[in-house]
Amino acid sequence: VISVPLSFFGGIGGASKIGLLVKGSNYLEAAGHTECVVMDKTGTLTKGVFKVEEVHTCGELSEDKLLRYAAYAEANSSHPISVSLREDFEEKSGEKVDKSQIGDVKEIAGHGVQAVIEGHTVLAGNAKLMKREQITYEEASAAGTVVHIAIDGKYEGYITIADQIKDDAAEAIRGLKARGIKTVMLTGDSRAGAESVGAKLGIDEIHAELLPENKVEEVEKLLASKSPKGKLMFVGDGINDAPVLARADVGAAMGGLGSDAAIEAADVVIMTDEPSKLLSLMDIARKTLGIAKQNVVFALAVKLIVLVLSAIGLVDMWAAVFADVGVSVIAILNAMRALKVE
């Protein structure tokens, strides 16, 4: 009774010291048995700090005008891509986005946004949005996130936005592989951008251009392919990741960049937004499981030995006291080792 709970309390306490909020001992145990880690790209493996790289027009609009429509369409969104569009527009034009000019905003999950701006219906989003609205668009080969723009049903061009890989992302992937854990990336971004990031980091499996429901489908396939005792962990940060975080055996969310929905749905929150903290989580979980097993085996073994010796009259009351109180104290001291995180 003392051995197992105290070990997990120690493990959860040790994790909290380094910015890992674990919402229950069952999730810490599951993390110790993880054999596949599935990750989102934007905001999880990348910094989520976007910069506009290219504004490409295909119609009569100038680059400045195209950027203006994109910034206005995305004005009500808190997504890092939307923020980067607004900031770039405001920096280049010297004017603030006037939200009174925007009406009938409609967010289309996994696709983009639709808004009425100065009487024009503007669509801003990925290639799937263009296909959904049956608009002929131009393919972009750039390795980044591409925002396609259509106005009143006519394709006007695209904007390429680049993100930076987090400093410790490569270390996280290497560490997971060294621990025998499979790595998978699921993202709604373009295939070119996803494969570029995946190749730099050495991720085992990459799935791009996914809608939120597609992510759930891919996770279901991975859950079906893992071993009976193995666990699957999903790491994400966006509101679109909430269903997958809830479906995975262990859901981990980024606490700084992460949306409220993702943090609420997650079982573990990485407060520092560092993917390398996953390695610490795995190590703490495995260490905690080891300590719990040590305590159980030690306690039962000592009690069994004292029970047998007392039955044949070789030990007295003091041995019984040690087998009870003494073993409890030793188990508590051993469990406290889980608090120490290197």
Q: Report the SS3 class of residue 84.
A: helix
Does 40 participate in catalysis according to the annotation?
Answer: yes
Q: How far does CA 293 lie from the centroid of its chain?
A: 30
SS3 label, residue 47? coil
> What are the DSSP E strand ranges found in 100-195?
102-108, 112-117, 120-125, 145-151, 154-162, 182-186
CA distance 165 to 230: 29
Question: If you write DSSP's letter for every residue of 191-217 in order, what string do you get?
Answer: HHHHHHHHHHHT-SEEE-S--HHHHHH
Q: Are 335 and 6 in contact (CB under 8 A)?
A: yes
CA atoms lying within 13 Å on the CB side of residue 234? 28
Burial class (CB in 10 A: 0-12, 13-18, 19+), 161: buried
Cβ 196 vs Cβ 151: under 8 Å? no
Reference 194, options 27, 45, 35, 31; nearest CA is: 45
> What is the helix (H) or strand (E) element at residue 232, kind and residue range?
strand 231-236
Q: Which amino acid is it at 156?
A: E
Distance of CA 213 to the CA centre of its chain: 16
Q: Supply the residues annotated as catalytic.
A: 40
